[in-house]
Amino acid sequence: MRIARALTAAALLLGAAVSPAVADSSPSASPSGDSAAPTSAGTSFRTATEIEQGQQATASASTGDYLYWSFPADAGQRPTVKATVKLPSSSRSGTQTWQLDVYDGLRRRQACQYGAQTRTAAKDEGAVEVSCVLRTVRAWAEPWANDPLPGTYYIRLTTVGLGAADLGLPANVEVRVDSKDIGGSAAVDGSLARPLVPGIATTSQKSSDSDTDSDSAKLFSLEPDDGWASGWWSDRWVWTAIGGVLAALAGIGGYALTRGSGRPSRVPPPGV
């Protein structure tokens, strides 16, 4: 009976512990409707248009241009970047190949786990879609590693291998970034002092010297809804606690099974 009561209590603890873990592992929420989606793209890293995750940005461009957007990504997130290019089919002389690249705050090109980064649109094709699913953003990594880290990420979209006759033709672009929260399986024992946001170190130093909060030197203003390093809590803590509870219950059950009924064993009389 005591073992049964202990197992029932453990089941209740497991239910209470898993509930926050499930809530924590849900996909990132879309931004509030108050912020309007951007309708233009930058032409370099410094002029990249800022977009939030969950927004669908649009832009009118010319083939041959380099188009740039930037977005924030925090630890534990796995961003997915998708771009759709709508092309006029009447005036094109041949195929068009579009390529999507993603860079981190240090302008290091990030590898995609999967997704078609480069696709070719036939002469009579009206649209082409490219995508990139990044690796999970880590809270910390070795200096020599190329792992994705919390901070600003840049999207660059352009045409490659384009014929001279098609340079400057109009194109309409749609870009969207969504993330999946991976949870405790991606947690590491460490964190960055500051996210990889261009200009954040300069801004922090200026604010410290003048005792004012200034964003004048910061090149990127967006951040996650609950701030940077929001992934310090994950279901890794929950499952660690569950493992400790189960280990304690296993010890109690083993002791109850091996100690016997509690009565002293009969001792045979002398001479037997």
CA 223 – CA 28 distance, rounded (Å): 13
Domain boundaries, the chain: 16-239
Residue 10 clears pLDDT 70, i.e. is over it: no
pLDDT at 213: 46
Q: Is the pTM of this model over 0.85?
A: no
> 130 near 117, Cβ under 8 Å?
yes
CA 104 – CA 130 distance, rounded (Å): 19
Average pLDDT (21-44) is: 61
Residue 244 confidence class, pLDDT cut points 50, 70, 90: confident
pLDDT at 193: 77
Average pLDDT (118-134) is: 93
Range from 11-20, 59-68, 131-140, 163-172 carrying the lowest mean pLDDT: 11-20
